[in-house]
Structure 1
């Protein structure tokens, strides 16, 4: 009895050290316990296997099996489940399958968690059909699927673009007695939102509200976020008020998302009130919160207060990031202070950010929209790095100024670097070249230069 109690105490100590990633101390505990006459059991080694797979690597976890054999302890299904989980975490599908086969060969029968982990690995690697076969194996082997099994299926199907199949499966098993959890509804709502099916997501949200379960802040925030991202601001704000009426506690993300949405729709007073409410609730502002506030001030033309806000950020012990400065540059451009924006862009270059690409893209676009196309070209040409957004913005604005030849040169430069440009953008350039007579059979040498554009646009 004393020995069993001592082994249990040792296992608790080993598990505690493993949880805080102090594996060396966990090993010391085992060594000291053996010296005192307390031998480790399969639980001890299973704890080490899981910890080494999670915090070191799969091979380190697998080596524990040799130590178990030397100690005369046989691995069980938990041991192999930990190894399969470790392989799955690192997307090592072949190792997952090898471990699964090895487990069967040594006479250990896989349980539902073995199948769950293998199914999750297939989904992670974009193999939904293979994952579905594993799911069918669970049913055929007469193992009882657990809620995690179904949630893994729903999540994997949604993330692999099979949202309709996930919803259909959900409806089918629900009719056969499956009781969904809150996490099940959250998975489906998130999947539907990402697929752009906000109306269906709202219906599932309504269905959740009519069940015995209660939506949490994460549920509402998911729907609200995708409403705003898709430009459905009124629907997003409606979800926000519904969330507020039901007394849910918001986090900083919820408040910032709603404040930003109010600002984008020109409802600045409501945006400020939402932000003030967040402060009243005692939620600590981070740099993301401050960036949204900077944007609100810029939209409202309160540029002098923006500089005070920058000082406040520093006093709060935070550091302005590239988005803070980019927002200020955008605000200066909106107010017509182009010279001030250019000066701040040069100042930003001295701050040592890894990349100021977003700020430069913003500057190019704003200069073009303000009618300073030549200044925009100078900034464009001075950029060390450019992406497809840089090129697309420059091409569109050059075409608006009917400078189609220059636009075509920018487009070809972009294509020559292997960057993707939307076909409508390419068609605008070719159409413009034709309209000014630069793209016809008479210009033999010139048409060869644009053969690539002509080929793409006729596909």
Structure 2
């Protein structure tokens, strides 16, 4: 540690590598070396990624300690970033410390803050008035959805409809119609979910078809994912697959890069649909589904490939996993040091009695890590 390269960019890379290797304790030690008196993008990124990694691992106490260290104890220049603040607000909500989360909300810049986390906990605690005040100050889709769900669970359909009308009448992001259409769709999914939960499937499907057939809404991105989850959960599998293929077609026809990135069929959606095939033993169809997505979307990322490899390994489909792993390793734009994928392959090789292949995979991962580290040290 005494010889650590403390330049902001190099330190950020080191912390990122250690997080990728799941060594959070060493990553945190390096992150604490960040020069808090130097306000730059890389220093802020170091703070964000280590706090985010700790929260993802549910090591909330460590995340809170780091947040306090970076933005309270040692910094006289840096203000807490929205990303780090969002991580901590989510952590406080998960810990049930809603009042502390609200206090932090009032102390940081509102731009980019995810108010959905706080409203969800407030609704769960029955603190509807506070949730309503927060929503009306910051009318974001997830916060609205949480409140609508809360009122629907209480059987207060009138209040739920009133909130929906308020949300849609204000025309959020009217200058960005694609975003507004998607946000309105996300809120309306709560009503479809409500009718399904009530056992009123006909009413749920009527609302679904109304949403699907209305040009005011877009049923891809987050809205599409939420709808697919509902349809699969309540046995509407034919409708789910029809919607999924529709989402793929819309995505492949979209030219605008910003629109495509916001409303693309995301990794979670792809994994859910591939997983649906695997769950029912339709392995070939699951793999074909992945390749159909890949044919329509040349921007598939590391997570997309990792998910299908993990699925194959879980079901003992080692030859198929090897093919996907080879594709991943040969693509320079995707061949990052991904510990989870390498571990899955090593475990699959060991289960198959191919210990030498497991060792070779481990060596390849170490070699890739050392090569990346050496390259970064030269920059």
Q: TM-score range by the shorter chain?
A: 0.5 to 0.7
Structure 1 residues 219 and 236 mapped into 2: Cα distance closer, same or farther (>3 Å)? farther
Task: Pick closer, same or farther for the CA change 1:159–1:343 going to 2, 3 Å.
Answer: farther
Q: Does 1:351 align with 2:216?
A: yes
Q: Secondary structure at the match of 1:219?
A: coil
Instruction: Verify the 8 A CA contact 2:115 2:143 in the aligned structure 1.
Output: yes
Long gaps (5+) in structure 1? 1-131, 133-149, 174-179, 435-449
Other structure's SS at 2:80 match: helix
CA contact (8 A) 2:164 2:187 kept: no
Distance in 1 of aligned mates of 2:220 and 2:68: 43
1:233–1:261 CA contact under 8 A, matched in 2: no
Q: What whole-Å deviation, never above 9, does each CA across 1:244-273 have from its counterpart, x for those lacking one?
A: 8xx84774765825434416xx61523x34
Tell whether the 8 Å contact from 2:11 to 2:46 is kept in structure 1 after alignment.
no
- Alpha-carbon spacing, 1:154–1:331, altered in 2? closer, same or farther (3 Å): farther
Match of 1:219 among 61, 67, 80: 80
CA distance in 2: counterparts of 1:169 and 1:212, whole angstroms: 13
CA contact (8 A) 1:189 1:219 kept: no
Post-superposition offset of 1:183? 5.9
* Greater relative contact order (CA < 8 Å, ≥ 6 in sequence): 2
Name 2:187's counterpart in structure 1. 327
Task: Go from structure 1 to structure 2 and tell me whether the alpha carbon gap of 1:191 and 1:344 turns closer, same or farther (over 3 Å shift).
Answer: same
Does residue 157 in structure 1 map to residue 23 in structure 2?
A: no
Specify the alignment match of 1:399 in structure 2. Answer: 278
TM-score (norm 2): 0.54
SS in 1 for 2:149: helix
Structure 2 vs 1, CA of residues 170 and 259 (structure 1 numbering), >3 Å: closer, same or farther? closer
Specify whether residues 375 and 278 from structure 1 end up closer, same or farther in structure 2 by C-alpha distance, changes over 3 A only: closer
* Corresponding residue to 1:202 among 29, 39, 64: 64
What is the aligned partner in structure 2 of residue 298 from structure 1?
Answer: 149
Aligned residues of 1:190 and 1:222 also touching (Cα < 8 A): yes
Instruction: Tell me how far apart the structure 2 counterparts of residues 396 and 172 of structure 1 sit (CA, whole Å).
Output: 41
The residue correspondences of 1:257-272 to structure 2 (distance < 5 A) are 257-262=116-121, 267=124, 269-270=126-127, 272=128
Alpha-carbon distance, 1:396 to partner: 1.9
**C-alpha separation in 1, matches of 2:69 and 2:194:** 44
Instruction: Determine the C-alpha separation between the residues in 2 that align with 1:219 and 1:170.
Output: 15
In the alignment, structure 1 residue 367 sits paired with structure 2 residue 253: no
Paired position in structure 1 for 2:163? 309
* C-alpha distance in structure 1 between counterparts of 2:103 and 2:168, whole Å: 36
Distance 1:413 1:187, change over 3 A: closer
- The two structures have a TM-score, normalised by structure 1, of 0.46
Aligned partners of 1:343, 1:373: CA distance in 2, in Å?
15
The one of 310, 313, 335 aligned to 1:424: 310
Distance 1:390 1:211 in 2: 41
Check conservation: 2:228, 2:240, Cα contact below 8 A.
yes
Does the 8 Å CA contact 2:148/2:163 hold for their aligned counterparts? no
Q: Could you say which residue in structure 2 is the equivalent of 1:275?
A: 131
Q: Distance in 2 between matches of 1:379 and 1:171?
A: 49
The gaps in structure 2 that reach 5 residues or longer are: 19-25, 175-179, 197-202, 252-264, 325-344, 350-379
**Are residues 1:234 and 2:95 paired?**
yes
1:224 touches 1:240 (CA, 8 Å); kept in 2?
Answer: no
Give the drift of 1:315.
Answer: 4.0
Structure label with greater radius of gyration: 1
**1:325 positional shift:** 1.0
Give deviations 1:256-303, integer Å, cap 9, x for gaps.
25434416xx61523x34334437xxx7444x2x54223321354255
What is the distance in 2 between the residues matched to 1:165 and 1:391?
31
Query: Deviations along 1:177-204, whole A, 9 cap, x unmatched?
Result: xxx5596997764343134365444224
Q: After superposition, where does 1:67-146 map in structure 2 within 5 Å?
A: none
| 8 Å CA contact retained: 2:189, 2:223 | yes
* Equivalent pair of 2:182/2:220 in contact (CA under 8 Å): yes
Find the counterpart in structure 1 of residue 244 from structure 2.
380
Contact kept, 8 Å, 1:225 with 1:236, in 2: the verdict is no
> What pairs up with 1:3-14 in 2 under 5 angstroms?
none
Confirm or deny: 8 A CA contact 2:186 2:226 kept in the other structure.
yes
Q: State how far apart, in whole Å, the 2-side matches of 1:166 and 1:223 are.
A: 14
8 A contact 1:193–1:201 mirrored in 2 = yes
